[in-house]
Structures are given as C-alpha cells and as structure tokens.
Amino acid sequence: MSIRKSLSPLTRPSRADLRYAVRTLCTRPAFAVSVVMTLALAMGPTTAIFSAVDALLLRSLPFPRAGQLVRVESVRGGQPGSLVVSAI
C-alpha cells in the first residue's frame, strides 16, 4: 500500500498546501528569511518568559513543607528592633 493511499482525506490538502508554501518561499528568498526571522524573534522571548514564569510561579518551592516558610524583615524608620514576619 502506498503512503498516499494510507493518508486520510483531511491530510491531503494540507500536504498540497505545504508543498505550495515551500515552493513559494523558495522563489522569494528574502520573504522566506523575513518569515523565519519573525518566527524566531517571536518564539525565543516567548519561550524564555514561559520558562521564567514556570520556574518562579508555577512550580512549588524546592523545600519540604514549603507552605510553612516565612520571611523576616527589619522595618526601617520604625522603632528600633521592630520586625515584620510574613508568610511567603
């Protein structure tokens, strides 16, 4: 059985469209380069931002009982020796 016969009818137009897109990009190399650069400039920062958000906000802290961690700060301009304790 050939590959063409095993493809579903929904994927046949997609392959034709893909071949047309590649053929068009090969005839206009400047446009192809601008498309690739636009995609690269969009995907790079998006990936970096998602990685930062995932590491800082979505994943839990790498400590046992992370919900019991607290932050202790000294208050400047308040009474000497006064501290603020807040949950993280």
pLDDT at 58: 83
Task: Name the residue among 84, 88, 85, 44 with its Cα closest to residue 62.
Answer: 88
pLDDT tens, residue by residue, 72-86: 776 666 666 665 666
pLDDT at 64: 82
pLDDT tens series, the chain, 88 aa:
455 556 666 666 678 888 888 898 889 989 889 988 999 999 999 999 999 999 888 887 777 877 777 777 766 666 666 656 666 5
| φ, ψ dihedrals at 86, nearest 5° | -135, 150
The 3-state DSSP class for residue 7 equals coil
